[in-house]
Structure 1
Amino acid sequence: MAVAGWLIDKSALVRIGESKAVAKWVERIQSGLVHMSSITRLEVAYSARSAVDLEKSFSTPPLTHLRIEPLSPAIEERAWEVIQQLAKRGQHRAPSIPDLLIAATAERCGLVLLHVDKDFELIAKFTKQRLERLS
């Protein structure tokens, strides 16, 4: 099955340079196949040490190559459905709210979620969405 693309989580984004497959990921990023949710964009901005650092991060690769996937009512509703499913099993406090929204974004946009975060694996038990753990 052909992959439409990937939605990268911050957990993978910060480790991409250490990946065994860094060349493959750089090529995919430069080809526009890797997207980022608006939530991840905010997480990256929050991690900036200063306004200068923030500006530099978002004006240089790889961030300049990542298409932003904004939230939508459908994405928010899917995150709500998933947290309800998790609550039925007492697991609703395991994934963070950003993780729920990022997973829902990947699912609704038809993208494989690229991550290094076990909470996405818990979410995918319910959603059956495609994940790829960065190695």
Structure 2
Amino acid sequence: MGTRFTHRVKARYGDCDMQGVVYNPNYFVYLDDAMDTWIQSELGPDYLGRFDYVVKKASLEWEAPARWRDVVEMRPEVTRWGRTSFDVSVALSVDGRRIGVAEFVFISVEPGSHEPKPVPIPEEVRNALSV
């Protein structure tokens, strides 16, 4: 079984807009890094040779901003398993204060193909990413 994973990113000056808050698209950069780091931590650094996925849907609902030098914590968890797709919810927080939640639908694809043709999710992946 997978463990509860937390990924942290410190907001850099260049990540912020004129208001001093993290510019909205940068959250998706943070989240992409969190997903890769999470899967790598559970499956190993060579996981792309055994499993690959593409984003079908991504959304982010903000509750509060992150600011320059804040450490944004992201906690992903699978909320639904399908045969060839899975949903992930990622809670975002700063200093224990929730700032938002991201929701993703991912499709399992043939490793290295980059084709959006779905393939079954390997059991190894289901076991590793289930909390």
TM bin, normalised by shorter chain, reads under 0.3
Structure having the higher strand fraction is 2
TM-score, normalization by structure 2 = 0.25
Structure having the higher helix fraction is 1
TM-score, normalization by structure 1 = 0.25
